[in-house]
Amino acid sequence: MISMPEAIDIVLSRAAPLEEESLPFPDAVGRVLASEVTAPRPHPPFPASIMDGYAVRSADVPGTLRVVGAARAGAPLGPSADGSETHTGAGRAVYITTGAPVPPGFDAVVPVERVSFPKGEGSDAVAVADAFVPGANVRSVGSDIQRGEVLLHAGDRVGPHELGIAALAGVSEARTRRAPMVAVLSTGDELADPYARNYKPNGHTDAPAPIDPAAAASSSDRLDVSAGSIFDANRHMLLACAREAGARVMDLGIVRDDPDALAGAVAKAMDAGADVVVASGGVSEGDKDHLKDVLLGSFGRIAGVVHFGRVMMKPGKPLTFAEIHRVSRTDSEGGCSEDRDESRTQLDEKKTKQKPVLAFGLPGNPVSAAVTFALVVAPAVRRMLGWVDPRPRRLQAVLAQDIALDKERPEYHRATLDWEANDSSANLPLARSTGRQISSRLTSMRGAEALLELPRGPGFVAKGTVVSALVIRDIGTQGGLQMPRVRPKVVRPTNAPDRVLAAADAGVAKKALRDDEDDAKKFAPRPKAIAVVTHPFVPAKSLSDLARESDVPDSDRAVTDEGNDDAAAILEATRRFLQRAGVSTDGDENNAWRVFEARAENGTSRRLALAARAAAETASIVLIAPSGPSAVSSQAAVVAGTDLGFPGLAPRMRAPLEKKYDQSAKYDDDEERSEAEDAAALAAIAYRETGFGINAGQVAGAVVASLPCTNCEEALVEGLTKMLLVPREKWEGLVL
Ligand code: AMP
Ligand code: MG
């Protein structure tokens, strides 16, 4: 008896990719490409704007420009209205929307957020304060897809996304392999069709007759079979399996345990163009098990080679595989009318031209039929479709319980897979048996995602053992594929900072100040130091994660992704900025600026606020590195943790500050004011004078700002520019 791996090898050696055919691309989903797909045209086909804004000539900005027209997606800029003026020319801009062609002569797009309207919105003047490089915010021709680029490779399976790629490039036809036609029959005198009354397939079931749901429901109670009969499960199950594997299907119905009827049904399938015939039942050793003899040609119409008729496996020992061709019935038992007139020579000619049909005799027990289909028929179908590796995927799993072994045969034990936390360090899935494995108990296939490849006994495989498993359906239908979320290890850019000016934990910085009087004096009252509050990344946690961690205080829990581990990058960006800005970071400690890291335990607003407060004692400026998808926690930290927190963005919170600023301008210097009033005034001035577009507040006299996380470096530059350079005396005066 051969082993199952040998059986799979034999089947795959006889199955070959079918002929090529061309299909409209949308019809090729599920097929495998027979040749590569190249792009007949570039995408985008014109220079396209990435943003809504204004097309400009980069040489003209910064500056104030005149808007001379509009280019919208689908409505490019036409010739100028009076014909007297070209659109291009110094000092002109064109309103443009995302996806619209950038008009000739323009080479950059300024996002609408980055322009102002000196003569009011709706006027034809836009002012751009910043420089834009040529090509800024423009997708050049072919930047996504180049003409002639190989988009899809031969052997690629066409899925929705591959179809999308072909559609975007305007490729109309797919060169694929023909899908095999799989004919399915059930054998057994005991079988009755459970759907016969509602569902009468006429051979090809690609388009099954619709079932009237009302009729089906009302008749289900009446479904019954005579004594000694059972319902045919295999045929319906295997037709669905074949469809799922990518085949077209043909339903040959139930065939009684009669070799002539069987030979007739198989011959009919072959005449109708089947590439594969799948029969279930009738391959064991009983006196009504005729399939092997039929396949060998003992009953005419068909004849073939049986490659194997028994496999050393459980379930499915009688699995039979043959290659058959169509022949005439030549013995005296009476012929098949359609063949009778053909001469021997004609038949022989036909036979040599015929490609053999693959015939599978699956065991009748439904579990055996399902398992053997998954192990040998599905791979054969996939090979015919052109799959590069048609075998079932193998993975490893940890047994969730002891499993007793069969003494005689290796077993393919049905199991579900579950990636919930387990002891396995490799984070392998847990494999749970689907229960009693007797081959007639089809409910052991319910939810089965894998077949565990267990060796022959005696004995058992213990719980916790790692075993191999063949995947037989999409994982995850039973709660399977859901691994804990991990933060990937990040490889830092190689141009790492040669030197971080200084690094200190917020707590340490505070302590150092207390312990070392000299140092404290050196930095007091407003040291020339910038503290960058960083915090480790904390992935968002689900409610169930949170429930498991009952010891974590509520306020320390991350409910969104937050944190920024990139301390080195932020510190380096700060340092680089200071250097570019000509601010000394070297030399005389009294004049040079110092940058240090203040590390918060985590990115919750409370922790960030504490770290900022500690850092403020030794710094003039405290930057809270981005936290969360919209910097929620770092902004909250500023609001919650500063003496006078206020976000610079929300008008509702900006208004009282503006009011305070106006008030403070009227203060008489000699007037007695409370400390709180002083602080409020200072914060208002800091806010107004530094013109923060980012959240800022004040802690113990230091400016504390949170950076939005979308672009840390940009935020840094913006924040620092405003705090340090524009104009420097203003903030220095404020914080010193
Ligand atoms: P066989 O392989 O024909 O000896 O059948 C083995 C067992 O499977 C018997 O108990 C049959 O009644 C059962 N069986 C065979 N074919 C089917 C089928 N299509 N659906 C459900 N059970 C079946
Ligand atoms: Mg039978």
Residues 583-592: tens digit of each pLDDT: 666 666 566 7
Do the bridges between strand 191-192 and strand 230-231 make them parallel or antiparallel, or are there none, so unpaired? parallel
Residue with tokens 């043909």: 250
Report the nearest atom of ligand 1 relative to the CA of 186.
Answer: 19
Q: Which atom of ligand 1 is nearest to the CA of 235?
A: 19
pLDDT at 568 over 90: no
pLDDT score for 577: 66
pLDDT at 528: 73
Distance between Cα 189 and ligand 1 center (Å)? 10
Torsion angle of C-alpha atoms 717, 719, 723, 724, degrees rounded to 10: -10
CA 627 – CA 640 distance, rounded (Å): 15
The C-alpha atoms of residue 596 and residue 532 are separated, in whole angstroms, by 6
Q: List 23's β-bridge partners, or say none.
A: 174
Specify the pairing of strand 357-362 against strand 394-399.
Answer: unpaired
pLDDT for 514: 39
Q: Which residues pair with 202 in a beta bridge?
A: 204
Task: For residue 230, list its beta bridge partners.
Answer: 191
| Mean pLDDT of the region 524-546 | 65
Average pLDDT over residues 96-101: 96
Q: What is the mean pLDDT of residues 692-707?
A: 57
pLDDT score for 618 = 80
- What the block records as the tokens of 685 is 């001035």
With tokens 């204004």, the residue in question is 54
β-pairing, 430-433 vs 394-399, is parallel
Q: Is the pLDDT of residue 312 over 80?
A: yes
Q: How far apart (Å, rounded) are the C-alpha atoms in residues 322 and 692?
A: 79
What own/partner pairs with CB < 8 Å and gap ≥ 24 does 495-501 have? 496/568, 496/572, 497/568, 497/571, 497/572, 497/575, 500/568, 500/571, 500/572, 500/575, 500/595, 500/597, 501/571, 501/575, 501/585, 501/593, 501/594, 501/595, 501/596
The 10s digit of each residue's pLDDT in 363-372 is 999 999 999 9
C-beta separation of 593 from 530 below 8 A: yes
d(CA 50, CA 289): 69
CA 470 / ligand 1 centre spacing (Å): 25
Dist. CA 625–CA 562, nearest whole Å: 11
CB atoms within 5 A of ion ligand 2 belong to 188, 281-282, 364
Encoded tokens for 619: 């710094």
Partner residues linked to 535 by β-bridges: 564
Distance CA 731, CA 736 (A): 8
The overall average pLDDT reported for the chain is: 77
Q: Of 372, 268, 275, which is closest to residue 318 (Cα–Cα)?
A: 372
Q: 447: CA distance to ligand 1 center in Å?
A: 22
Residue where the block lists tokens 């089809």 = 442
Q: What is the pLDDT of residue 196?
A: 85
In which band, very low, low, confident or very high, does the pLDDT at 530 lie, cut at 50, 70 and 90? confident
- DSSP-derived pairing of the beta strands 48-49 and 181-187: unpaired
Atom of ligand 1 nearest to the CA of 187: 16
CA torsion through residues 373, 377, 382, 388, sign: positive
349: pLDDT strictly greater than 80: no
Question: Does position 635 have pLDDT exceeding 60, yes or no?
Answer: no
Q: Which of 191, 257, 310 to mutate to test the pocket of ligand 1 (most atoms within 8 A of CB)?
A: 191
363 Cα–ligand 2 center, Å:
9
Q: CA-to-CA distance for 624 and 109, rounded, in angstroms?
A: 31
Rounded-to-integer distance, Cα 445 and Cα 204, Å: 27
- 481's enclosing H/E stretch is none
Instruction: Give percent above pLDDT 70 in the chain.
Output: 61
Q: What whole-number distance in Å separates Cα of residue 19 and Cα of residue 211?
A: 35
With beta carbons less than 8 A apart as the criterion, state whether 148 and 252 touch.
no
Give the torsion sign (CA, 50, 56, 58, 63). Answer: negative
Q: How confident is the model at residue 621 (pLDDT cuts 50, 70, 90)?
A: confident
Rounded CA Rg of the chain: 38
pLDDT at 162 over 50: yes
Choose among 78, 71, 79, 80: nearest CA to 48: 71
Give the residue whose CA is nearest to atom 10 of ligand 1: 365
405, 456 in Cβ contact below 8 A?
A: yes
pTM beyond 0.85:
no
Q: Which ligand is nearest to the CA of 284?
A: 1
Least confidently predicted of 258-267, 421-430, 464-473: 421-430
**Residue found by looking up tokens 């010193």 in the block:** 736
Nearest atom in ligand 1 to 286's CA: 4
Of the ligands numbered here, which is closest to the C-alpha atom of 288? 2
CA dist., res. 412 & res. 437, Å (int): 9
- Determine the distance separating the centroid of ligand 1 and the alpha carbon of 597, expressed in angstroms: 73
Indicate if the pLDDT at residue 248 is higher than 90: yes
d(CA 649, CA 638): 13
In this prediction, residues 544-561 reach a mean pLDDT of 52
Residues with CB under 6 Å of ligand 1 are 186, 188, 190-191, 230, 232-235, 280-284, 286, 363-366
pLDDT of residue 667: 65
Q: What is the DSSP string of 538-587?
A: E----HHHHHH-TTS-GGG--SS-EEE--HHHHHHHHHHHHHHTT---SS
d(CA 530, CA 521): 17
* 206 contacts 169 by C-beta, under 8 angstroms: no
- Which pLDDT score is estimated for 232? 97
Give residue 366 CA to ligand 1 midpoint distance, Å: 7
Distance between CA atoms of residues 391 and 323, nearest Å: 20
Q: Is 28 left (phi over 0), alpha (psi -120 to 50) or beta?
A: alpha
